[in-house]
Chains A and B, each alone.
Chain A
Amino acid sequence: MCPNVRLRMMKFQSLLRQYWPTVALFAFLLASWQVAVSAGGIREYLLPSPLAVWNALWHGDTAWAQHLWVTTLEIVGAFFLAAGVGVALGVAIAWSPLIANALVPFLVFVNTLPKVAIAPLFLIWMGYGIFPNMLMGALIGFFPVVINTAVGLSQVEADMLDLGRVFNAPKWKIFVKIRIPNALPYILSALKITATAAVVGAIVGEFVASQRGLGYVIVTTQSSMNTSVAFAALIWISVVGLVLYGAVVLLARLWAPWAEGID
């Protein structure tokens, strides 16, 4: 056998060895859930069986593609908004003590506000639409990025900075060549939190004000008692969340391979 293929098989086998308990447990839970519902006579609007959820996913009359698209847009938009604004603010804070003194107390205050409580205000200010929900996601997710960016940029070994000074590097160059790469693992690890927060924010936004989206679907099931649809929406939400999270993890591995296993 070609060694490459053998290596891959070994890798697969070790993955299997590591994860078979997870898979087995999951299958067991699904099966007992199904049995409990169909044999135990639990009414479907209280707890739908896995099969009912499966049906709602593929055969129901919910326009999943449309809702999925809207919510994905909100989540991804929120993520990039939070990442962009967070990094920019973090850089500004690390660059100038004046900016830091001006911004940090304000940001800390904003962060202590329960963002969910602001959502109704967003409705008043911006009405229905994708953007306010995006903003809600960004608002919940940007703070860790600011903090980690600022910390990563400032917590550079003194010796490394001396190294830059020995070669008479200007401040901006030390920033670009030493501080920013040093901050990269910090930023990426904050983005993992942001990926999760963006999901929460978008859904909360949809709960409060929306006419489309997976959060909207869940809200409508409250009155229709169509619980299996709510479960199906949950599955879609977690799929979007997992894909985004996985993308960030992959990015971290690609961009900061030297920091493997830091978070």
Chain B
Amino acid sequence: MNKELIGLDRVGMTYEAASGPVEALAGISLSVGAGEFVSLVGPSGCGKSTLLRIVAGLRPATVGTVTVAGRAVREPIPDIGMVFQAPILLKWRSILQNVLLPAELAGKDATALQGRAQQLLDMAGLTGFGDKLPRELSGGMQQRAALCRALLLDPPLLLMDEPFGALDAMTRDDMALELLRIWGERDLAQSARKTVLFVTHSIGEAVFLSDRVVVMSPRPGRIAADLRIDLPRPRTVELRASEAFGRLSLDIFRALTGRVGAAGTA
């Protein structure tokens, strides 16, 4: 593995909710190398979003230590792209202005990035929607706009929470390929690629995209399995039909359900 970029050591998270404490994560130890594409899969409510927020520095973990690029995370860390589970577009801004928001918030010249923003929108299949308001777009289109926003400043670290969750299967596969292209699968050495932490509910998507798939147990989320996906890159659509792809998917399915050898009957 490359030099470690994200390090979690026995991280736990307990929310203090009105109805009492909710333990969302327990004993998470995980190391993600620079340039690695790691997917998180796990049942709903197991703490995947929570984990991303902790890594981003949006919420402090209640126990354990989190480091990014060797530094302890205590507040929001700089230079990340984050795709939240909901699109969270500002409803008073046009789509293009929403994509440009990170530049404005970070005090960078937004007009200089208009061309790039437009390119990203084209890439996401949103050509011609730049001057529409968010409410004029479908849920899936909003999600793609949010993806463009996360990519605008070309961040070296991407935290993505089900970014393709609201998309139809076809668009979803296209976007997965685009993401790999942006990640630098074809033209960059691994150390030069972005580091991606990617939450998904789709086993196939996780296998197709990732170098590693981390499977989490039901709440409180623990790491149930950590599988290396040693399929050749660049990944192609045909790969999905291969025997190795099926085997890895099955492994993940078993780790997810905690069942051994019962996959066929599920």
Contact = CB atoms under 8 A, between A and B. Distances in A.
B92 A184 contact: yes
Contacts of B56: 166
Given A160-B90, A258-B92, A177 B58 contact: no
Contacts of A166: 56, 58, 76, 80, 82
Query: Interface SS of chain A: helix, strand, loop or mixed?
Result: helix
A50 interface: no
A263 to B, nearest CB: 16
Contacts of A177: 90, 101, 104-105
A168 B104 contact: no
Contacts of B107: 173
A129 interface: no
A157 B90 CA distance: 10
Interface in A143-183: 157, 159-160, 162-169, 173-174, 177-178, 181-182
Nearest to B91: A258
Contact of B101 (A159, A167, A258): A167
Nearest to A159: B88
A256 interface: yes
Interface in B35-79: 53, 56, 58, 76, 78
Contact of B88 (A160, A184, A258, A259): A160
Contact of B84 (A162, A167, A182, A256): A162
B102 A167 contact: yes
B22 interface: no
A257 B93 CA distance: 10
Nearest to B78: A168
Contacts of B84: 159, 162-163
A8 B65 CA distance: 65
A252 to B, nearest CB: 13
Given A157-B88, A168-B105, A258 B76 contact: no
A169 B105 contact: yes
Given A181-B92, A258-B133, A168 B106 contact: yes
Contacts of A174: 105
A256 B53 CA distance: 32
B135 interface: yes
Contacts of A163: 82, 84, 88, 101
Interface string B126-160: 00000001010000000000000000000000000
A210 B106 CA distance: 55
B135 A167 contact: no
Contacts of B53: 162
A160 B86 CA distance: 10
A181 B58 contact: no
A165 B59 CA distance: 11
B114 to A, nearest CB: 17
Contacts of A173: 104-105, 107
B110 to A, nearest CB: 11
Contacts of A160: 88, 90
A103 B162 CA distance: 44
B105 A159 contact: no
B101 to A, nearest CB: 7
Interface of B: 53, 56, 58, 76, 78, 80, 82, 84, 86, 88, 90-93, 101-102, 104-107, 133, 135
17 contacts: A159-B86, A159-B88, A160-B90, A162-B84, A166-B58, A168-B76, A168-B78, A168-B105, A169-B105, A174-B105, A177-B90, A178-B90, A181-B92, A258-B91, A258-B92, A258-B133, A259-B92
Given A159-B88, A168-B106, A181-B90, 12 more contacts: A159-B84, A160-B90, A163-B84, A163-B88, A163-B101, A167-B102, A167-B106, A177-B90, A177-B104, A184-B92, A257-B133, A258-B135
